[in-house]
């Protein structure tokens, strides 16, 4: 009997033996970056042996007429009988995702142990696959994993299993794709880090050869230091460059020079917000060429990118990847095949964590453990890049004592002094009316508050000429129009008074002569300061960031952050100094306590290899929101497609520019007011009452009153 799989459009079948051996060879190649070639090869050889049953072959030959067949348990059981639990996990999950371990008596039949007790069906004959596939016995675990200290072994085993899983599922997808497309799919490509380094050198040559003065001289000096990435061994580094120091290009310079020196495969840039991604990705494309830069996040449609980059989004097979912290870390703790497929591409790379201080505190310990594990065992060089010196180095030393992060640009204090462009002053407690009066006396000013309610209230109190409001109650398209007007008025010197929530701190490029910031975390205050005198063209004494308070409680979500800031304000005259910033983060982590750094209990579950449970709990964006789509002159056809139930990822991405994401309580108020049409099958809503969307402030926050905090 000839065993087959995958029928092409021309009617030809792929030999099952060929597919299995191809996948084994590809998986071994993909796992070479973490010394797991032999182990990945075994997983590849076992992954589809369940297709050697009569029922599985009937399914291959007549898929429309036969029921689905469990073909993964057989290979997982074979691995389990070899005492190879890693391979058992990845083979069992290569279609449905990594399972939890469970127990022999687990009532949930989806766990690994339950499946290992499950009798094989479909007339499975082990001798059939053993005649075609030879799997060598013995331990295939790499030596480095066996040497991991006992206290770290649980986390190391979980990370290794996901990496092995990644190599297997990507190899499986790639071989199937190659056969079905007659080998015509365009993948790979892009230039090497060494070639990209030459492009960068050509781009920055005028800065390094010219006679720069002032801020530009400082930026050039920092860039020169970072261009010497080839002189640093692989490991973990911090890059502390104050706002305005050019850390985006400097960090890229280090990453490319370092990758070229050590033969690393790619550079991965991890940033906290999509607004920063879009800016950084465009900078990188301008320097390196669009074909070399993959921008991967929820707000970009892969269909809008050229074919190679669209495919590269599946497994990060690109020289430079720019992605979000949500995408990066949720993938590292994922269980699904689509999410884990790219993980092996992180090995043997330079990973730059931009704005590293933005790592979410409730997930800080798992994230720090993951970064440390990548550096220790997956040939990753990690760069914690920040303008505000977070106190992560102490956590890294605590959880990974083998690592000691080194600063790439020493002399941080001198940098902060040289690049200081603003004065931070305390302005005390104000009423909304008093604050609005002071803002109204300024020609150009930015005020950032903690709640959307306060933003709307202040906006209403400002003089009408030149006033603007920004918050996530507005669609991204609406905010973009407002920001374009704001920038134009700032450049023209026209009246421009803006009230915003913290969204404007997320890398939005605006330059105000004066900023007012409601008390919040010190990192937020310093981010706000980055919107003041951004280009350093105004005198320091005239560029002030006023920190103020309102009567009443600070929103619960930032209460401890604000308290840590209050503590630092009493201890330091210069709260923008490196010492004050370090003290803030140390105080904040102390106040939150060790348990709060892993609020979801990810680490204990990970120790037990509970892959599915970890994936369900590891959600960096905590509370779920629902998109409410706002009709515009341009999206009528898209909304009609949505109403018809023809929902695709591409459609949702296109509609994303006209969406406001609301919390459950906000959605409930809108529904009770009859303001939205609910589409239960799509899990979203369409605004149908125009009075609830304002051209100044966006979606009505309180059709029935209330206050919503936006983070």
- Per residue in 678-688, pLDDT tens? 999 888 999 99
Residues 558 and 532 in one domain: yes
Q: Looking at per-residue confidence, does 311 or 104 come out higher? A: 311
Q: How confident is the model at residue 707 (pLDDT cuts 50, 70, 90)?
A: very low
Q: What is the pLDDT of residue 387?
A: 73
CA angle in degrees (0–180, nearest 5) for 6-10-12: 45
Residues 523 and 483 in one domain: yes
**Domain-ending residue, one of 412, 429, 464:** 412
- Residue of 218, 207, 154 whose CA lies nearest to 373: 154
pLDDT digits (tens, 9 = 90+) for 82-127: 999 999 999 999 999 999 999 767 767 789 999 998 877 667 777 7
Q: What is the pLDDT of residue 412?
A: 67
Q: What is the pLDDT of residue 710?
A: 29
What number is the average pLDDT over the span 61-73?
86
**What is the domain count for the chain?**
4
Residue 381 to residues 315, 347, 389: CA-CA distances in angstroms?
Answer: 20, 9, 19
Rounded CA-CA distance 477/539 in Å is 35
> 598 in a domain, yes or no?
no
> 587 in a domain, yes or no?
no
Q: How high does pLDDT run on average in the chain?
A: 89
What region, left, alpha or beta, does residue 508 occupy, with left being phi > 0 and alpha being psi -120 to 50 degrees? beta
Residue 646 has pLDDT above 90, yes or no: no
What number is the average pLDDT over the span 633-650?
89
Rounded CA-CA distance 482/495 in Å is 14
pLDDT digits (tens, 9 = 90+) for 158-204: 999 999 999 999 999 999 999 999 887 777 778 999 999 999 999 99
Q: What is the pLDDT of residue 477?
A: 92
* R_g (Cα) of the chain, nearest Å: 27
Q: What is the pLDDT of residue 190?
A: 87
CB neighbour list of residue 623: distance below 8 Å, 6 or more residues apart:
663, 664
What number is the average pLDDT over the span 508-520?
93
Residues 379 and 269 in one domain: yes
Q: What is the pLDDT of residue 493?
A: 95
Residue 392 has pLDDT above 90, yes or no: no
Q: Could you tell me the CATH number of the domain that includes residue 228?
A: 3.40.50.300
Q: What is the pLDDT of residue 69?
A: 86
Residues 38 and 156 in one domain: yes
CA 287 to chain CA mean position, Å: 23
Query: Is residue 77 within 8 Å of residue 120, measured between CB atoms?
Result: yes
Q: What is the pLDDT of residue 711?
A: 23
Q: Which two tokens stand for residue 246?
A: 């050019």
Q: Which two tokens stand for residue 623?
A: 């509370």
253: domain range?
Answer: 193-412
Residues 156 and 239 in one domain: no
Q: Looking at per-residue confidence, does 486 or 361 come out higher? A: 486
What number is the average pLDDT over the span 336-349?
97
> 400 in a domain, yes or no?
yes
For the chain, give the percent of residues with pLDDT over 70. Answer: 93
Residues 633 and 692 in one domain: yes
Residues 73 and 207 in one domain: no
CB neighbour list of residue 282: distance below 8 Å, 6 or more residues apart:
none
Residues 170 and 218 in one domain: no
Quickly tell me which residue has 């003041």 as its tokens.
532
- Residue of 262, 269, 251, 253 whose CA lies nearest to 208: 253
Q: What is the pLDDT of residue 390?
A: 57
**Domain-ending residue, one of 364, 381, 412:** 412
What number is the average pLDDT over the span 286-304?
80
Residues 358 and 463 in one domain: no
Residue 703 has pLDDT above 60, yes or no: no
Query: Is residue 119 within 8 Å of residue 70, measured between CB atoms?
Result: no
For the chain, give the percent of residues with pLDDT over 90. Answer: 60
Q: Looking at per-residue confidence, does 417 or 29 come out higher? A: 29
Q: What is the pLDDT of residue 699?
A: 94
Rounded CA-CA distance 470/500 in Å is 5
What number is the average pLDDT over the span 261-276?
88
Q: What is the pLDDT of residue 706?
A: 31
> 541 in a domain, yes or no?
yes
Residue 446 has pLDDT above 80, yes or no: yes
Residues 399 and 279 in one domain: yes
CA 150 to chain CA mean position, Å: 30
Q: Among 276-290, 303-317, 318-332, 509-523, whose mean pLDDT is lowest?
A: 303-317
> 372 in a domain, yes or no?
yes
Residue 26 has pLDDT above 70, yes or no: yes
Residues 661 and 571 in one domain: no
Rounded CA-CA distance 686/675 in Å is 9
Q: Among 237-246, 310-319, 324-333, 655-664, whose mean pLDDT is lowest?
A: 237-246
What number is the average pLDDT over the span 374-378?
96
> 705 in a domain, yes or no?
no
**What pTM was computed for the model?**
0.88
What number is the average pLDDT over the span 316-328?
94
Residues 130 and 271 in one domain: no
> 100 in a domain, yes or no?
yes
Class of residue 489 by CB neighbours under 10 A (exposed 0-12, middle 13-18, buried 19+): middle
Beta bridge partners of 428: 548
Length of the chain: 711
> 386 in a domain, yes or no?
yes
Q: How confident is the model at residue 709 (pLDDT cuts 50, 70, 90)?
A: very low
**Domain-ending residue, one of 412, 444, 476:** 412
Q: What is the pLDDT of residue 242?
A: 77
Residue 336 has pLDDT above 50, yes or no: yes
Q: How confident is the model at residue 609 (pLDDT cuts 50, 70, 90)?
A: very high
Q: What is the pLDDT of residue 585?
A: 86
Residue 388 has pLDDT above 70, yes or no: no
Residue 227 phi/psi, 5° resolution? -70, -10
CA atoms within 13 A on the CB side of 363: 21
């Amino acid at each position: 009997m000839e065993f087959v799989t995958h029928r092409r459009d021309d009617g030809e079948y792929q030999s099952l033996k060929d597919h299995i051996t191809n996948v084994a060879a590809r998986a071994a190649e993909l796992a070479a970056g973490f010394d797991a070639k032999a182990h990945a090869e075994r997983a590849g050889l076992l992954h589809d042996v369940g297709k050697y049953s009569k029922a599985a072959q009937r399914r291959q030959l007549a898929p429309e007429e036969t029921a689905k067949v469990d073909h993964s348990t057989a290979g997982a059981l074979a691995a389990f009988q070899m005492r190879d639990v890693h391979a058992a996990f990845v083979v069992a999950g290569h279609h449905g995702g990594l399972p939890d371990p469970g127990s022999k008596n687990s009532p949930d039949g989806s766990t690994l142990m339950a499946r290992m007790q499950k009798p094989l069906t479909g007339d499975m004959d082990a001798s059939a696959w053993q005649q075609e596939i030879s799997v060598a016995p013995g331990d295939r675990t790499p030596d480095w994993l066996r040497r991991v200290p006992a206290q770290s072994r649980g986390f190391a085993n979980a990370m290794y299993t996901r990496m092995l899983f990644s190599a297997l599922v990507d190899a499986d997808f790639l071989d199937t794709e190659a056969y079905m497309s007659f080998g015509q799919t365009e993948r790979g490509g892009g230039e090497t880090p060494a070639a990209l380094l030459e492009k960068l050198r050509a781009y920055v040559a005028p800065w390094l050869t010219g006679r720069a003065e002032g801020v530009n001289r400082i930026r050039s000096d920092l860039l020169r230091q970072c261009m010497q990435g080839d002189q640093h061994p692989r490991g973990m580094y911090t890059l502390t460059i104050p706002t305005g120091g050019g850390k985006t290009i400097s960090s890229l310079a280090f990453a490319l020079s370092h990758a070229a020196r050590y033969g690393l495969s790619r550079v991965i840039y991890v940033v906290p917000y999509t607004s920063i991604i879009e800016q950084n990705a465009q900078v990188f494309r301008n320097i390196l060429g669009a074909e070399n830069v993959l921008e991967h996040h929820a707000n970009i449609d892969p269909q809008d990118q050229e074919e190679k980059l669209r495919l590269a989004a599946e497994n990060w097979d690109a020289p430079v990847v720019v992605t979000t912290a949500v995408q990066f870390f949720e993938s590292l703790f994922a269980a699904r095949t689509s999410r884990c497929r790219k993980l092996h591409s992180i090995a043997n790379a330079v990973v730059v964590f931009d704005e590293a201080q933005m790592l979410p505190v409730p997930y800080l310990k798992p994230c720090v453990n993951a970064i440390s594990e990548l550096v220790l065992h997956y040939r990753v060089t990690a760069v914690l890049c920040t303008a505000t010196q977070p106190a992560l180095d102490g956590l890294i030393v605590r959880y990974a004592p083998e690592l000691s992060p080194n600063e790439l640009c020493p002399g941080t204090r001198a940098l902060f002094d040289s690049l200081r462009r603003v004065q931070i002053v305390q302005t005390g407690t104000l009423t909304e009316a008093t604050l609005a009066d002071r803002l109204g006396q300024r020609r150009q000013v930015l005020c950032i508050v903690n709640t959307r309610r306060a933003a709307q209230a202040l906006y209403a109190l400002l003089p009408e000429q030149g006033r603007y409001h920004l918050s996530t109650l507005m669609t991204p398209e609406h905010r973009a129009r407002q920001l374009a007007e704001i920038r134009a008025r700032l450049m023209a010197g026209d009246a421009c008074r803006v009230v915003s929530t913290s969204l404007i701190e997320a890398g939005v490029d605006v330059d105000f002569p004066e900023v007012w910031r409601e008390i919040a975390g010190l990192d937020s205050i310093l981010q706000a300061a980055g919107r003041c005198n951004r280009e350093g063209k105004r005198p320091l004494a005239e560029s002030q960031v006023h920190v103020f308070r309102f009567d009443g409680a600070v929103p619960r979500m930032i209460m401890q952050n604000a308290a840590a800031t209050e503590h630092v304000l009493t201890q330091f005259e210069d709260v923008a100094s490196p010492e004050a910033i370090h003290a803030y983060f140390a105080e904040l982590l102390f106040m939150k306590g060790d348990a709060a750094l892993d609020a979801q209990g990810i680490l204990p579950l990970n120790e037990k290899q509970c892959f599915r449970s970890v994936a369900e709990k590891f959600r960096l964006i905590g509370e779920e929101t629902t998109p409410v789509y706002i009709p515009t002159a341009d999206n009528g056809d898209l909304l009609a497609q949505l109403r018809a139930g023809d929902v695709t990822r591409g459609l949702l991405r296109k509609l994303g520019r006209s969406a406001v994401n609301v919390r459950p309580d906000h959605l409930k108020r809108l529904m009770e007011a009859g303001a939205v049409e609910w589409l239960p099958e799509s899990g979203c809503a369409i605004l149908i009452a125009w009075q609830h969307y304002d051209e100044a402030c966006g979606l009505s926050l309180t059709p029935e009153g209330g206050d919503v905090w936006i983070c």
